[in-house]
A and B are shown apart, each in its own frame.
Chain A
Amino acid sequence: MKKTTLMLTLGLVTLISITGCKRKPVGVTDIPGMRSPSATGPGNGLENGGVLTSPKNGPDTITQEGLSQVGTETGPYAGTFANGEPNREKFAADTVHFETDSAVIKKGDLSKLDDVANYFKSNQSKEALQIEGNADERGTEQYNLSLGDKRALAVREYLATAGVDAQRMKTVSYGKAKPIDPERNAAAYANNRRVEMVLLVPK
């Protein structure tokens, strides 16, 4: 024990004299390990791994909040949603526009939506509809994503009420990420506050 203590003391004295505790750069601080992030790429994305909850495929009900979304990964139009060819021209003239901060469909636009509804009601094909909500740039991105979502859902609800099968419609919001008019004036903002409807044609 004595020998150990002696050596320890000696060792301490030696170490301190070698490294020094004062007035010189002494503390040697190791740098936290740096990691480089890995990117996804073809073949290494486990896209369909880990199904965590089941899509809700219950009956299409009008809830207190509105029409429930239905899973579009199953059902009669699943193939169209997965691989359908988008036709943006078909309903280009039926794009509906909104007031600032509003997801209320204007009365003047209802006849456009009635035309779209009639197209699907008289059409027994596997064609389906993608409803795209957009906002102008005067809201923050998260806020506009939600606002665009609400606009798309309002159109979807109107079409469902008009008789279009809810399983045949899918909504998506782009927020302010896809303006149609890049200018920064009232007219451009009005053009960008819109819902576009895209016909999906099965391959």
Chain B
Amino acid sequence: MTKRHVFTIAVAAAMLCGFARQLEAKIIVSKDADYVVPVAITGFSGEASSILKFDLYVLGFNIVDPSQAEFEVSGSGNGRVEGRLTVLATKENLFARAYNGGSTRSQAHALADDVVKQIRPELPPIFHGKVAYRVRQGGNAEVGVADFDGHNATIVTHDNSLVAYPAWLPGKFAVLYCSWKNSGTQIFEHDLSTGSRRIFIHSPGSSYSPAVSPDGKKVAMVLDRNGTPNLYAADIDGGNLKQLTFGKDDVSGPSWAPNNQDIVFATRSGRASLTKVNINGGGPQKLRVGGAEVYGNLTQPNWSPDGKWIVFTCGSGPFSICVAPSSGGEAKALVSGEDPCWAPNSRTVIFTRDINHKHVLSLLDVPTKHVKDCTQNSGECSQPAWAR
């Protein structure tokens, strides 16, 4: 038997196995988005147990006793993580799997992703996501990178200055951010694999608040080269700079739509409000959002990856996280906090929460309003950006 034959057999077996498992898992349960799914987690201990509870709560599940649960995740996390998902009413197994490689932490996150995939199959997995954020230490701030839940944190800049507003390059292990290192405010592009970086754009005056388009081809940012902060877009190599707003009102916090054409940002004339602009022209258009729960300045908009929603901050301290349809309309206040940023599933939001005047990163499940604080690292963390 040649190697090729062995390979063919292995592939065929894997396919058959996969097919069998699909048949077995024919009951794919998709609940309404705001339905809180009661789930029991049994057999796990220590790290694996706490990760499963954390992850599933963040995705809108409630962790309950098996007698009250609809589903049970049973298994063990000793040595390697093994898990089984069961519908308790019928005792039907939806899957049973063991995980190889990586750490217990990573395996437990993979099991949690598989549980979510079974019960909410429309959601892409998020539990191996990375987040970049600003961390304040004394009078300085640097950029850090961590797992979405705050673990495995690393500080990636050492400018002994202010560093802020990290933004990921989609599909790459690289970020843009602002540094005050050279006394003014400049945007840097930082390759996290090598640690090398360069100034992204040389513009007279200050440049800040970079946002990369979802296709990775364009960067929106604020430049004040004309004597007032205005919104600009450039190609990812820094060329082809185009001014998008021409007003005297200051602009801040741009975020791209998934069509790579529209940008939402905050602008202020009187109170700050949300505005959209298309990079191909047409001029800025106010995004009309309203509702009894929305007050004060509307800033820091962030467009969901599926294009349907815009999450933003309202108020004048304390602040609230609000969400509105991306076409405008009724906005709802969700929780206290600021700096919201969508996860790739367009359901989870990472944001900054104020606990006794200290900033911590926190996770919000928008439909159920479940909130979980990320593991706290030293320094005050804010301005989270989820890698997409």
Q: Is the CB of A31 within 8 A of B99?
A: yes
Chain A nearest CB: distance from B224 CB in Å? 5
A153 at the A/B interface (Cβ < 8 Å)? yes
> Which residues from chain A sit less than 8 Å from chain B, CB to CB?
4, 7-8, 11-12, 15-16, 19, 21-32, 34-41, 44-57, 63-73, 81, 101, 103, 130, 137-143, 145-147, 149-150, 153, 156-157, 170-174, 177-178
Query: Which residues of chain B from 3 to 20 have any CB-CB distance to chain A below 8 Å in the complex?
Result: 5-6, 8-10, 12-13, 16-17, 20
Instruction: Please report whether the interface of chain B is mostly helix, strand, loop or mixed according to DSSP.
Output: mixed
**Which chain A residue shows the least CB distance to B227?**
A66
Q: Please indicate the chain A residues that have their CB under 8 angstroms from the CB of B31 in the complex.
A: none
Q: B44 in the interface, Cβ–Cβ < 8 Å?
A: no
Within 8 A of A (CB), among B182-203: 183-185, 190-203
Residues of B close to A173: CB separation below 8 A: 185, 206, 208
Q: Is B164 an interface residue (CB 8 A)?
A: yes
B250 touches A66 (CB 8 A): no
Q: Determine the chain B residues whose CB is within 8 A of the CB of A64 once the complex forms.
A: 246
11 residue pairs from A and B, CB less than 8 Å apart: A31-B103, A38-B195, A52-B202, A67-B227, A140-B299, A142-B252, A142-B253, A142-B266, A147-B250, A171-B184, A172-B206
Given the contacts A72-B204, A170-B184, A138 and B17 also touching, CB distance less than 8 Å: no
Decide if B96 touches A149 in the complex (CB within 8 Å).
no
Q: In whole angstroms, what is the CA distance A196 to B383 when docked?
A: 26
A12 to B13, CA, bound (A): 5
- Pick the contact of B239 from A15, A27, A53, A73 — CB < 8 Å? A53
B270-316 contacts to A (CB < 8 Å) = 271-272, 297, 299-300, 313, 316
**What 10 pairs between A and B have smallest CB-CB spacing?**
A52-B238, A69-B205, A31-B102, A66-B227, A38-B195, A11-B9, A25-B98, A37-B192, A142-B253, A15-B13
Partner of B230, one of A8, A27, A65: A65
Q: With an 8 A cutoff between CB atoms, is B29 at the interface?
A: no
Please determine whether B5 and A8 come into contact, CB atoms closer than 8 angstroms: yes
Given contacts A53-B203, A142-B299, A171-B224, 12 further A-B contacts (CB under 8 A): A29-B100, A35-B192, A40-B196, A50-B199, A54-B202, A138-B317, A140-B253, A141-B339, A145-B209, A146-B209, A146-B222, A147-B268
Q: Do A37 and B17 touch across chains, with their CB atoms under 8 A apart?
A: no
The secondary structure that dominates the A interface is loop
| A52 in complex: contacting residue of B128, B237, B300, B339, CB < 8 Å | B237
Say yes or no: B227 contacts A46, CB within 8 Å: no
Give the Cβ gap from A31 to chain B, nearest Cβ, in Å: 3
> What CA separation (Å) do A37 and B194 show in the bound complex?
8
Tell yes or no: B326 within 8 A of A by CB: no
* A86 CB to nearest B CB, Å: 9
Contact mask B246-273 → A, CB, 8 Å, 1/0? 1110111100000000000010100110
Q: Is B156 an interface residue (CB 8 A)?
A: yes
Kindly state the separation between the CA atoms of A145 and B268 in the bound complex, as whole angstroms.
13
Given A29-B114, A170-B183, A34 contacting B192 (CB threshold 8 A): no
